[in-house]
């Protein structure tokens, strides 16, 4: 089952999505959790599914948290795969750089793991937003697009500090209040491998070059 329908299917899609977008725009944004916490509030549409690099950039930008896999250093589970939830941001909604930034503390289990082994895989899914529920896509259906980014988690350099801080604090204003006793630092995922599951036919491989070169219209 390769590729996706185009042309008339896109017209049908636009027709179907129009009322959804109107409903989204009029629905009040509740909660005090900051911007972009899974709200489909912006007029963003999923890019054409065949443009896997752009879909990957879209998912990274729309999601503001993900699950990170690391190798465990904890007693009893040493060497085994470990998973944890981390907030993240690649920038403001619709203006993401594609770089997933994190705000980490040495007190976190994942950070203890990364200290010994910086390899990690981050996964993010549109199931984190209202998209999948709205269109009736099961979280494990490829239509409920999700991406997998492998690489290493590294501290952000001095030069990149401001970008990281701005990207994160815009989407996660609560971070500004987190206690300094936790020794928070900015980190990012240095991406080496990308898989995109957004349609039937199996995961699509996207290179970091394709990923960073993708631009939203």
CB 217, min distance to its own copies, A: 27
CB closer to its own copies out of 33 and 92:
33
Contacting residue, 50, 92, 135, 166, with its own copies by CB under 8 A: 135
Per CB under 8 A, which region of 10-18, 48-56, 76-84, 209-217 contacts its own copies?
76-84
Give the pair of three-digit tokens for residue 8: 């008339």
CB closer to its own copies out of 205 and 216:
205
Asked if 142 contacts 172 with a C-beta cutoff of 8 angstroms, the reply is: no
Contacting residue, 13, 44, 48, 141, with its own copies by CB under 8 A: 141
Q: Per rule CB under 8 A, is residue 84 in the interface with its own copies?
A: yes
CB closer to its own copies out of 7 and 28:
28
CA distance 187 to 103: 6
CB closer to its own copies out of 135 and 212:
135
CB closer to its own copies out of 97 and 141:
141
Strand pairing class (119-125; 65-71): antiparallel
Per CB under 8 A, which region of 45-53, 93-101, 120-128, 157-165 contacts its own copies?
120-128
Asked if 191 contacts 121 with a C-beta cutoff of 8 angstroms, the reply is: no
Q: Per rule CB under 8 A, is residue 156 in the interface with its own copies?
A: no
Contacting residue, 4, 13, 21, 65, with its own copies by CB under 8 A: 65
CA distance 139 to 78: 30
For 128, counting Cβ atoms within 10 Å of its Cβ (0-12 exposed, 13-18 middle, 19+ buried), the class is: buried
Q: Per rule CB under 8 A, is residue 116 in the interface with its own copies?
A: no
For 48, counting Cβ atoms within 10 Å of its Cβ (0-12 exposed, 13-18 middle, 19+ buried), the class is: middle
Q: Per rule CB under 8 A, is residue 176 in the interface with its own copies?
A: no
What are phi and psi for residue 207, nearest 5 degrees?
A: -85, 155
């Amino acid at each position: 089952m390769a590729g996706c329908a185009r042309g008339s299917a896109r017209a049908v899609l636009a027709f179907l999505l129009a009322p959804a977008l109107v409903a989204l725009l009029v629905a009040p944004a509740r909660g005090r959790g900051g911007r972009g916490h899974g709200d489909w509030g912006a007029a963003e549409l999923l890019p054409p599914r065949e443009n896997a690099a752009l879909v990957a950039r879209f998912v990274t930008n729309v999601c503001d948290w993900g699950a990170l896999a690391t190798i465990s250093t904890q007693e009893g589970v040493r060497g085994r795969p470990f998973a944890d939830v981390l907030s993240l941001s690649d920038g403001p909604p619709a203006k993401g750089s594609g770089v997933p930034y994190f705000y980490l503390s040495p007190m976190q289990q994942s950070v203890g793991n990364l200290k010994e082994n910086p390899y990690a895989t981050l996964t993010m899914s549109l199931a984190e937003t209202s998209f999948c529920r709205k269109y009736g896509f099961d979280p494990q259906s490829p239509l409920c697009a999700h991406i997998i980014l492998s690489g290493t988690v590294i501290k952000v350099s001095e030069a990149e500090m401001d970008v990281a801080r701005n990207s994160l604090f815009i989407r996660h204003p609560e971070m500004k209040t987190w206690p300094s006793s936790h020794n928070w630092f900015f980190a990012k995922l240095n991406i080496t491998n990308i898989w995109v599951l957004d349609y039937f036919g199996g995961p699509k491989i996207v290179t970091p070059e394709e990923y960073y070169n993708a631009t939203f219209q």
